Amino acid sequence: MTSEIVPAIMEILKQSKEGNEVSDINTLENELFEQLGIPTSIPFSIDRKQRIDLALIAATHGASVAEIVNLLTWKDFEGFVAGIL
């Protein structure tokens, strides 16, 4: 699961950056959605807290912080940094 989680999270963050909606994730299995705590039906929306939580999970699984930050809004970034500190 760990090898799949980072790309999955990065794709979710990328798709939800502008409008919070994720509409195209064919590569993820329902089990991975459930482990991430996100809906299993597509399209789905995630809120700021979920985006920050996903960013923190990606960082703990070895994702590049620079890449994560590029996928966050300014407010997401503030929450992400607060979560790290």
Q: pLDDT per residue over 15-58, tens digit each?
A: 888 887 777 666 556 667 777 777 767 677 888 998 999 999 99
Q: What is the dihedral of CA 65, 66, 67, 71, to 10 degrees?
A: 90
Beta carbons of 10 and 62 less than 8 angstroms apart: no
Beta carbons of 6 and 62 less than 8 angstroms apart: yes
**pTM of the shown model:** 0.77
> Helix, strand or coil for residue 28?
coil
Residue 75 token pair: 């407010």
pLDDT band at 8 (very low <50, low <70, confident <90, very high): confident
What whole-number distance in Å separates Cα of residue 83 and Cα of residue 78?
9
Beta carbons of 68 and 54 less than 8 angstroms apart: no
What pLDDT was estimated at residue 58? Answer: 92
